[in-house]
Amino acid sequence: MDTGLLSNSTFSNIVGRAKNDFAPEKPKTGDKSELDRNAFLRLLTTQLAHQDPLNPMKDKEFVAQLAQFSSLEQLNNIAETIGEFKKAFARQEMQNAAGFIGKQIRAAGRSLSKNDEAISSFSYQLPDPAKKLYVNIFDSHGNIIRSITLPGRMPGQHEFIWDGKDHNGKDLPDGVYSIFMAAEGKNGEALMVNTKTSGVVSGVVNDGDQVYLRLADGRSINFRDVLEVVGLGS
């Protein structure tokens, strides 16, 4: 006798079709493969509309689906909130960085530039007395062009002055170079050396994730690496 009610097999077929009908398009590379919240809600509504009154969806299954939808909604709201917060923070960071234009800053870093006879200043910080220091200078291609050994230094901040020459005493072309330093303590132990670079800020760049200060000599410094403002640019 036909009661007009859907059998379990019919219900399963309907739900199966609903999943196909309401499922998102086949995900492309990098896309999410999970149902979005609207598709999930439509699927749940379809299940409720077509379920057999004599054999309704089990409570645990129904509650689990509701919990899944609730979690999906909460995660979506959290993601939206974080996205808005990141945008607001980036705008504020950009405004703060703009205040550094025209000023000479000192920041954590290893780069220095050479332009004719002008070479940007470079400093380093020692936590303890150093018996010996080792300085390696690299060009923009990562080739080592000069190695220098310095005598012992006391704790504190020190300036390093490079003459712009390679290990043969030949003047190197203008450009950006990098310095790596190592220090040996009084008992031969390795010491941490914090290096600092400096320059005059000429602009601000936001690449979407980070804010950078563009220096007058063409280098870029992460805004968050700035340690101090030395003074106005000359």
Distance CA 197, CA 117 (A): 18
Q: Is residue 204 part of a domain?
A: yes
Residues 110, 226, single domain; the answer is yes
What percentage of residues in the chain have a pLDDT greater than 90? 47
The domain of 179 spans 101-232
- Residues with Cβ within 8 Å of 7's Cβ and at least 6 positions away in sequence, in order, are 52
Indicate whether 73 and 110 sit together in one domain: no
Q: What was the pLDDT predicted at 96?
A: 83
Range name among 18-32, 33-47, 148-162, 199-213 with the lowest pLDDT average? 18-32
The pLDDT of residue 15:
46
161 with 187, same domain?
yes
The verdict on 53 and 121 lying in the same domain is no
Q: What percent of the chain has pLDDT over 70?
A: 65
Answer yes or no: do 220 and 106 share one domain. yes
Q: How confident is the model at residue 1 (pLDDT cuts 50, 70, 90)?
A: very low
- Confidence tier at 20 by pLDDT (50, 70, 90): low
Q: How many domains does the chain have?
A: 2
Asked, for residue 188, whether it belongs to a domain, the answer is yes
Residue 6 in contact with residue 18, Cβ under 8 Å? no
């919240």: which residue's tokens? Answer: 37
In a domain, 129, yes or no: yes
Residues 153 and 58 in one domain: no
Tell me which of 39-53, 86-100, 122-136, 200-214 is least confident. Answer: 39-53
Same domain, 120 and 159: yes
Q: CATH code at 175?
A: 2.60.40.4070
Q: Is the model's pLDDT at 33 over the cut of 60?
A: no
Structure tokens at 100: 């550094």
* Res 94: pLDDT: 78
Q: Which of 61-75, 125-139, 157-171, 206-220 has the lowest mean pLDDT?
A: 61-75
**Quick one: 75 and 148 in the same domain?**
no
Note whether residue 1 is domain-resident. Answer: no
**Which residues, listed in sequence order, are joined to residue 108 by a DSSP beta bridge?**
196
pLDDT attached to residue 18: 45
Angle between helices 37-50 and 8-22 (to 10 degrees): 160
Q: What is the dihedral of CA 163, 180, 198, 89, to 10 degrees?
A: 160
